[in-house]
Amino acid sequence: MTTASEQFLRDAATKTADLRHRGVIQKNIASYDAAVTRGKARYADWQNARSQAAAIKWETVNHLDRYLEQFEQNVLENGGHVFWAETAADAREHVLQLARRHGVQKVVKSKSMTTEEIHLNEALEMAGIHAVETDLGEYICQIRGEPPYHIVTPVMHLTKADIAQTFQEKLGTPPTDSAEELAMIARAKLRREFMTADMGITGANFAVADTGMIAITENEGNARLSFSLPRVHIAIVGIEKLVPHFEDLALFWPLLSTSGTGQAITAYSSLISGPRQAREIDGPQEFHVILLDNGRTRLLADAEQRDALHCIRCGACLNVCPIYKNIGGHAYGTTYQGPIGSVITPHLRDEREWSHLPYASSLCGACTDVCPVRIDLHHHLLHNRRNAIQHKFDNPIQRLLFATWLWTMQSSLRYTIVAKLGNLTLRLGFAQSLLKPWIAKRDFPTPPKESFGKWWKKVERASRPFTPSKQTVETPVLHDL
Amino acid sequence: MNPSRDNILDRVRAALRTKAHRPQAPTNAPIFPPIANPEARFREEFTALKGEVIENAEKLSEFLRGFAKIATDESELVSKAVGETNASVSECELGVTACDCLVARTGSIIVSTLSAGGRALSVLPPAHLVVARHEQVVPDLVAAMALLRKRYDRHWPSALSVITGPSRTADIEKILVMGAHGPKRLALYFAE
């Protein structure tokens, strides 16, 4: 059996060498970057916006019990129902129960990473209930049988031509090179699904404690149709999605949009407080909120990394990550990709199985810099590496190598000897065959004869006393190894 | 009773017994620059998002002639502006509604089930026309949320939406396409 770590290495290696893939991602992320730069220019103080958001999330997450109870009470008062799901299986089972009780044959779904996390579509299909993804990107993923490539941009890895071909094969539509035509094909197909669906399932970007509302951010209108037309609406909400006050959204809506797509605010930011009321003319008869734990309380218990629960799933840390940009979203093999995924997945799922993910990082800190809620992402990647080593989940060979490296570095004599040996082996060429897997797709320059240490000593001697004109020592080319 | 509720809350409380490091407090410095003329700013933002402002009664009649079937929320403001219509929500080509307020900074229109004729009328039809009054423009979301809280607190409508431009998607190569699922056209008429 292939472990998650072996699969990761294989997929990452393939994607890194795939130049077409790299081109598609670079083009997509370049337009994202340009939009975000324009978006941030609308703020007087972006850094303070981040600090305010971090403070609100800190307050919520560190008093989560209080806000969860307040939220639940308000949803009930508004005429909705609340179900607490400890695991993915509990959440799936509850959805199936509700579907059976209401005689549901078709479900329309709007984009929700939480439903991806609990593999809801598979469960519904197994129960004979037709589940249709209605966000354009998610719909394309669904008909291709692929998981989303990115938490915000599900088909970032596909070109117009790829999508046209998918539509041609799966839907039998004529070939086209127009993004608009493709979107209109999906609109027409999905409009029929909306009109005949019995149940709408959504996620939530925020849950408002003091009014008992869920907030959904989108651009297409598919979420609004999903919670407006069917008889029953279910929202599956991670317990960390809470914000204390209705007014907090005046900050979080723009913040999420700017970081997610560069927009000042997305086309539709909606709030649902319950089912149709007697004074209203339409809307679902029932509104259900499923509050999902599924490992989140384990992350909460780690005070050092608790701020990872502040995440609003904007995707900014993916877009800025040099690793994500090279290995792509699918290589991670997780619901949540990129830096945030590598921080939370070992907590939400099995730590041993996913302990390789925190190494998928250059620790450059770009993720921490862009995070709109100031999660200390790159330090948490280091914390996860430390935890995995403390729990002895690391590779014993790697452990031996690091021990040897440490022993070498602790003595200048040992260092000099090993460096000389290394230099010699590399120049004579037999190391190259040893390093074949590494150098197959990378340049590997031959190191210079003279070591940096030797060169430095010469420079030092020549410049004592410091006289720049006498400096005749030739500078060797330093290779970045 | 499902024991999950207590199990989750117990785990939350146990977890929170260890205190987490508190981040540096934010300052009171304003997040956004001030807005001098809310209505002018609203028009600028709304138009930039491909919203259409209908400038006078004559232009409104011309706009309405473009739609064979029109449904409205039957509010006084809307009925006065558009007159009698008789199409249903699901068959109409244009939905006409009032709104709660207009937000200058983002060019947004806030609708609710109570202010705009339910949930479907402002999202299901291929085009959406909003009739508003000049005094409904507020500078930003902070002011809009305060207004909604004052109007609805403890008696909230079951759904509210902040609408910012016509429906759109950029899922395919980040190419902007209007009318993904919601209205392809969004228009605004200021009633005098």
Distances (CA, A) of A469 to A246, A268, A457, A465, A466: 70, 68, 18, 12, 9
Q: Does B166 touch chain A (CB under 8 A)?
A: yes
- In chain A, residues with a C-beta closer than 8 Å to the C-beta of B118 are 280-283
- Measure the CA–CA gap between A197 and A381, rounded to whole angstroms: 42
- In chain A, residues with a C-beta closer than 8 Å to the C-beta of B177 are 179-180, 183
What confidence tier does A480 reach under pLDDT thresholds 50, 70, 90?
very low
Q: If you count DSSP H runs as helices and E runs as strands, how many of each does chain A have, helices first?
A: 23, 10
Q: Which range has the worst mean pLDDT, A164-173, A424-433, B125-134?
A: A424-433
Q: What is the DSSP letter of A354?
A: T
- In chain B, residues with a C-beta closer than 8 Å to the C-beta of A181 are none
DSSP A385-441: HHHHHHTT-S-HHHHHHHHHHHHHHT-HHHHHHHHHHHHHHHHHTHHHHHTHHHHTT
A159–B12 C-beta distance less than 8 A: no
What digits encode the pLDDT tens for the residues A332-353? 999 999 999 999 999 999 999 9
What digits encode the pLDDT tens for the residues A269-319? 999 999 999 999 999 999 999 999 999 999 999 999 999 999 999 999 999
Q: Does B147 touch chain A (CB under 8 A)?
A: no
Give every CB contact of residue A6 below 8 A, 6+ residues apart in sequence. none
Report all structural domains of chain B as residue ranges with CATH numbers, in order of start. Answer: 36-191 (3.40.50.10420)
What value does the mean pLDDT of chain B take?
96
More confident residue, A78 or A395: A78
**Diameter of chain B measured on Cα atoms:** 67
Give every CB contact of residue A8 below 8 A, 6+ residues apart in sequence. A331, A332, A333, A356, A357, A360
B20–A58 C-beta distance less than 8 A: yes
Q: Does B151 touch chain A (CB under 8 A)?
A: no
| Smallest CA–CA distance from B46 into chain A, residue | A267
- Helices A64-77 and B4-16 cross at an angle (nearest 10°) of 150
A52–B8 C-beta distance less than 8 A: no
In chain A, ranges of CATH 3.40.50.10420 domains: 42-294
Tokens linked to A381: 């990647």
Give me the pLDDT at residue A333, please. Answer: 96
Q: Is the pLDDT reported for residue A389 higher than 60?
A: yes
The arithmetic mean of pLDDT across residues A53-63, rounded, is 98
More confident residue, A61 or B1: A61
Percentage of residues in chain A with pLDDT exceeding 70?
A: 96
Task: Tell me the sheet residues that pair with B112.
Answer: B160
- Measure the CA–CA gap between A135 and A118, rounded to whole angstroms: 18
The arithmetic mean of pLDDT across residues B125-134, rounded, is 98
Determine the distance in angstroms separating the CA of A302 from the nearest CA of chain B, rounded to an integer.
7
What value does the mean pLDDT of chain A take?
93
Q: Does B74 touch chain A (CB under 8 A)?
A: no
**Cβ-contact A207, A237 below 8 angstroms:** yes
Assign B162 to helix, strand or coil.
strand
**Whether the bond into A465 is cis, omega within 30 of 0:** yes
Determine the distance in angstroms separating the CA of B80 from the nearest CA of chain A, rounded to an integer.
21
Q: Are strands B159-163 and A268-272 parallel, antiparallel or unpaired?
A: antiparallel
Return the beta strands (E) in A171-285 as ranges: 199-202, 206-208, 213-218, 232-238, 242-243, 268-272
Give me the pLDDT at residue A449, please. Answer: 81
- Measure the CA–CA gap between A376 and B156, rounded to whole angstroms: 37
DSSP element (H, E) containing A263: none
Task: Tell me the sheet residues that pair with A288.
Answer: A81, A234
- In chain B, residues with a C-beta closer than 8 Å to the C-beta of A272 are 158-159
What digits encode the pLDDT tens for the residues B3-45? 999 999 999 999 999 999 999 899 999 999 999 999 999 999 9
The arithmetic mean of pLDDT across residues A399-414, rounded, is 93
More confident residue, A156 or A472: A156
Tokens linked to A41: 């220019």
- Measure the CA–CA gap between A276 and A321, rounded to whole angstroms: 43
How far is CA A11 from its chain centroid?
17
Tokens linked to A422: 């290394």
- CATH 3.40.50.10420 corresponds to the domain A42-294: yes
DSSP A293-333: -TTHHHHHH-GGGGGGGG-----HHHHH-TTHHHHTTGGG-
What digits encode the pLDDT tens for the residues A68-89? 999 999 999 999 999 999 999 9
User: Residue ranges of the alpha helices (H) in chain B?
Assistant: 4-16, 38-48, 57-65, 76-82, 141-152
Q: Is the pLDDT reported for residue B117 higher than 70?
A: yes
Give me the pLDDT at residue A423, please. Answer: 83
